[in-house]
Amino acid sequence: MTAPYLQASAIEVSFGGLRALQDCSFTIAQGRITCLVGPNGAGKTTIFNAITGFLKPDSGSVTFKGRALDGLKPQDIVALGIARTFQNLRLFQDLTALDNVLVGLPDMAGEEPIGAIFRPFHAARALAGRRTEARAILEHVGLAHRANEFVRNLSYGEQKLLTVARVLATGAELILLDEPASGLSAGALDAVMALLRRMQAEGKTLLVVEHNTRVVQKIADDVLFLHQGHLMAQGTPEQIISDPALAEIYFGGAI
């Protein structure tokens, strides 16, 4: 039997007296869209931080295709093929949309001073190719027409799409999206859901934090339900949503 695609085992994280994650274990299957749901403060973003190396768990471990991720830096984990977005976007406001994507592209020539100063023509030639690559990614998320716009001039929906473009640029195969649909208009919401489906069709595996139950029903293959740092349930969207005990936790009462 091969190792699970992504496996989290008994992860514990505390912030002072607050136990953000307690004995949190789950697996994620390759090629599927897994939604991570739960009330505010359940520990969803903490799971993201623990998987992507932004936070060192107090105990427990994460393995990706059988390889332990313990102690690796965020950029090493990206190189292994796991990348994430942030709930508060964290785009580079003073750079253009295209430059934001270019920062995400790996193995960039001229990204250190020696190459930049002593091999400028090589770097410039390489950059032309990478620009084409970055434009194709912007095209993919539907932002090609905004490539040279500064981030601060983009709408919120466009900024969300740009975070997806930047994470796609890293070439990661497992992509963690932190609330990609929140705060979007109905039209933008449909565009994001279609984009997630396309990414899945292209072979990406997605782990998505999402609050909107309609979105979860539409896109999720699997659902992880988190509550107060515990993994309460794992199942199909139908199983999770029809469970009255979970609805009680999630909505604070019967619906």
Partner 1 sequence: MDFLWSYIALAEIYVLLGLSTNLLVGIAGIFSVSQAAVFGVGAYIVAYFLMHEVMGFLPARLIAASCCVALNVLVTLPSLRVSGDYFVVTSFGIQLLATAIFVNWTAGTGGANGLPGIPPPDLFGFPIESNAQLVLLCSAGSGLGCLAFWLIMRAPFGRLLRAIREDELAVAAAGKGVLRAKVSAAALAGAFAGSAGGLYATFLSFVDPSSFDLDASILLLTMVVVGGARTLPGSILGPFLLLALPQALALIDIPTSIAASARQLIYGVLLIVFMLFRPQGLAGEKL
Where on the chain is the footprint of partner 1 (CB under 8 A)? 52, 54, 73-75, 78-79, 83-86, 90-95, 99, 102-104, 106, 108-113, 115-117, 120, 123-124, 127, 130, 166-167, 169-170, 172
- To partner 1, the closest distance from the beta carbon of 123 in angstroms equals 5
For residue 249, the minimal CB distance to partner 1 (Å) is 30
How far apart are the C-alpha atoms of 76 and 68, rounded to whole Å?
12
CB of 109 to partner 1, least distance (A): 7
Q: Which CB atom, from 1 or from 128, has the smaller least distance to partner 1?
A: 128
Are 47 and 8 in contact by the 8 Å Cβ rule? The answer is yes
For residue 87, the minimal CB distance to partner 1 (Å) is 12
Of 111 and 243, the one with the shorter C-beta distance to partner 1 is 111
**Smaller CB separation from partner 1, 73 or 214:** 73
Name which of 44 and 84 has its Cβ closer to partner 1.
84
Sheet holding 230-235, edge to edge: 82-84, 174-178, 205-209, 33-37, 222-227, 230-235
The rounded distance, in Å, linking the Cα atoms of 193 and 93 is: 25
Closest separation in Å from C-beta 103 to partner 1: 5
If the CB atoms of residues 34 and 85 are measured against partner 1, the closer one turns out to be 85
* Helix boundaries (H) for the chain: 44-51, 74-80, 97-104, 113-118, 120-141, 156-169, 186-201, 213-219, 237-242, 244-251
